[in-house]
C-alpha cells in the first residue's frame, strides 16, 4: 500500500481524543510506547470474546484455538525479523526481561570472574543493570564503547576493547535518547571475529527499521511489542537455536517441563523451555496483529516517513534560540529529538506543552550515564512514528515558544 499518513492516523482511535476541552492530542512520545491501531485492539477483544482459554494442554475447541493463535503469532514475529525458525522466538514480558533472560541463563552458565563484557555509554538501564548485577555476583569486568560528542559510537575505541578478548558484546541498535542508529552489522561482525557472543537491544529499531537477524548475524536480540503498535506486557527474545538449547531454563513451573519427579525434573525443548506458566495469550494475539499491521504498510515506508519527520523536526527546532538537540544529524538517527532549553527544566517544558495537548517525555529516559556523559541531568524528548505529521512538529515548536514566553 502507498504511504498516506492521514489515512494511517484514522487507524488509531486515540489520535482523535481531546485531552483537554477543545484541545486535541499531539502524541510525540512513541519512543516510550506507541499507540495501537484498531486492528490490534479488536484482535485482542475478539480473542477474549470468542476464544479465551489456556494453551497447550487443553483438547477442547477453545484451548486448541487459543494455542493455534498463540503459536501463529510466534510464526509471524519470526518472519518479521527473518528468524530461521519460529522456535528461536521466545515470548517474554518486554525487552528488559529478554536481556535479563540472557544474563540469568547464558551468561551465568558461561561467564566467570575476570571475563569481559563490552557495553556502550548510550545504553538504556535495561542493558546496564543486569550486567552490573552479574558483575557484583560473578566478578565479571564491564567496559564501555565511548560515545562521541556527535552522539556516535567510537568504533576505534571498540576495536581496541576487542583486543582484550571479550566474551560478550551487548548494545542498543538505536539509542532511545540520541536516536543514533548504530552500525549493528559491523559491530556484530567484529565481535564474532574476537570470539564474543552478541546481544542486540532492538527495542527502538525493530519498530522503526527493517531488521533482519540473519543478515545482522546477531546471536540474541531483544524487543517489545508495545513499541511497535502492539500491547504492553509482551516482548520477545530471538536467539540462535544452538545457544538457546545449551542454556538452562529461566523460570520454573508449568509448561516448561518434559517430566517432573519429586526430586528432579527435565525441561522441555525450546521455545517452551523459557515460557513457564500461563503466558500473555491475548497479548500474543495483539503482537501478531501488530506485526500484520506494520507488514501491510511496509517497514521501508515507515522508515522513510520517520526520516522525513526527523529532518523536518531538526530543521524547525534549530530555529529556536537557546534550544540544543542532542545526537547526530538526521541521516544517522531515527525519529527521536532530545533537547535542553536554556534556563528551563525539561519537566517544566513538558508540563507547559501538555497544556496544548502535546505529549512528550522529560527526564533521563532510563539512560542516566548517557546524560552524565553530556553533563546534563535530563532532556525533553519528542519522538515520532508512522502516524506523526509535520503539523504536529509545528505545534511542538509553537509550544516551545510559549515555554520561552512563560519563563521570559
Report yes or no: 198 and 192 within 8 Å, Cβ to Cβ: yes
Counting Cβ atoms within 10 Å, is residue 112 exposed (0-12), middle (13-18) or buried (19+)?
exposed
d(CA 310, CA 330): 6
The alpha carbon dihedral of 62, 68, 72, 75 has a sign of positive
Assign residue 343 a region: left if phi > 0, alpha if psi is -120 to 50, beta otherwise? left
| Alpha carbon separation from 257 to 56, 74, 89, 120, 248 (Å, rounded) | 12, 20, 18, 37, 12
H/E run at residue 197:
strand 197-201
Neighbours of 190 (CB within 10 A): 18
Cell of 288: 501478531
For 364, which DSSP code?
-
Which three cell numbers, joined as nine digits, stand for 48? 477474549
Catalytic residue among 243, 366, 376, 397: 366
**Residue 168 grid cell:** 560478550
**3-class DSSP state for residue 294?**
helix
To the query of whether residue 366 is one of the catalytic residues in this protein, the response is: yes
Cα gap 24→222, rounded to integer Å: 34
Question: Which string of b and e fits 265-275 if b means at least 16 CB within 10 Å?
Answer: eebbebbbbbb
Tell me if 383 sits within 8 A of 361, measured CB to CB. Answer: yes
Residue 154 CB-density burial (10 A; 0-12 exposed, 13-18 middle, 19+ buried): middle
Could you tell me which residues are beta bridge partners of residue 338? Answer: 326, 381
DSSP string, 27-56: E-BTTT-----HHHHHHHHHIIIII----S
Burial (CB < 10 A; 0-12, 13-18, 19+), residue 57, is exposed
Task: List, by residue number, the catalytic residues.
Answer: 366
Amino acid at each position: 500500500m502507498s504511504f498516506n499518513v492521514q489515512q494511517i492516523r484514522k487507524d488509531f482511535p486515540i489520535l482523535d481524543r481531546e485531552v483537554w476541552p477543545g484541545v486535541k492530542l499531539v502524541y510525540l512520545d512513541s519512543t516510550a510506547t506507541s499507540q495501537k491501531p484498531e486492528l490490534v485492539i479488536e484482535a485482542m477483544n475478539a480473542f477474549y470474546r470468542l476464544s479465551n482459554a489456556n494453551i497447550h494442554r487443553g483438547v477442547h475447541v477453545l484451548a486448541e484455538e487459543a494455542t493455534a493463535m498463540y503459536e501463529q503469532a510466534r510464526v509471524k514475529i519470526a518472519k518479521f525479523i527473518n528468524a530461521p525458525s519460529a522456535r528461536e522466538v521466545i515470548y517474554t514480558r518486554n525487552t528488559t526481561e529478554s536481556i535479563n533472560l540472557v544474563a540469568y541463563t547464558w551468561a551465568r552458565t558461561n561467564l566467570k570472574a575476570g571475563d569481559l563484557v563490552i557495553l556502550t555509554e548510550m545504553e538504556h538501564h535495561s542493558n546496564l543493570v543486569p550486567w552490573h548485577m552479574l558483575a557484583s555476583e560473578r566478578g565479571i569486568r564491564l567496559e564501555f564503547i565511548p560515545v562521541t560528542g556527535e552522539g556516535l559510537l567510537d568504533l576505534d575505541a571498540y576495536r581496541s576493547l576487542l583486543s582484550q578478548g571479550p566474551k560478550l558484546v551487548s548494545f542498543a541498535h538505536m539509542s532511545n535518547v540520541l536516536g543514533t542508529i548504530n552500525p549493528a552489522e559491523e559491530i556484530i561482525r567484529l565481535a564474532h571475529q574476537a570470539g564474543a557472543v552478541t546481544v542486540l537491544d532492538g527495542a527502538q529499531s525493530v519498530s522503526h527499521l527493517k531488521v533482519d537477524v540473519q543478515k545482522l548475524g546477531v546471536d540474541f536480540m531483544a524487543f517489545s511489542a508495545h513499541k511497535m503498535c502492539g500491547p504492553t506486557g509482551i516482548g520477545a527474545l530471538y536467539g540462535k537455536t544452538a545457544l538457546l538449547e545449551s542454556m538452562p531454563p529461566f523460570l520454573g513451573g508449568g509448561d516448561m517441563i518434559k517430566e517432573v519427579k519429586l526430586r528432579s525434573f527435565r525441561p522441555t525443548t525450546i521455545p517452551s523451555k523459557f515460557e513457564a506458566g500461563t503466558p500473555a495469550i491475548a497479548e500474543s494475539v495483539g503482537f501478531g496483529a501488530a506485526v500484520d499491521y506494520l507488514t501491510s504498510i511496509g517497514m521501508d515506508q515507515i522508515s522513510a516517513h520517520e526520516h522525513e519527520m526527523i529532518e523536518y523536526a531538526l530543521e524547525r527546532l534549530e530555529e529556536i534560540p537557546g534550544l540544543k538537540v542532542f545526537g547526530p544529524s538526521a541521516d544517522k538517527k531515527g525519529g527521536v529529538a532530545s533537547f535542553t532549553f536554556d534556563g528551563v527544566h525539561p519537566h517544566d517544558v513538558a508540563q507547559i506543552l501538555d497544556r496544548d495537548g502535546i505529549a512528550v517525555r522529560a527526564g533521563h529516559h532510563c539512560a542516566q550515564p548517557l546524560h552524565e556523559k553530556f553533563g546534563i541531568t535530563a532532556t525533553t524528548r519528542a519522538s515520532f512514528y508512522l502516524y506523526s505529521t509535520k503539523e504536529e512538529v509545528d505545534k511542538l515548536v509553537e509550544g516551545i515558544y510559549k515555554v520561552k514566553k512563560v519563563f521570559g
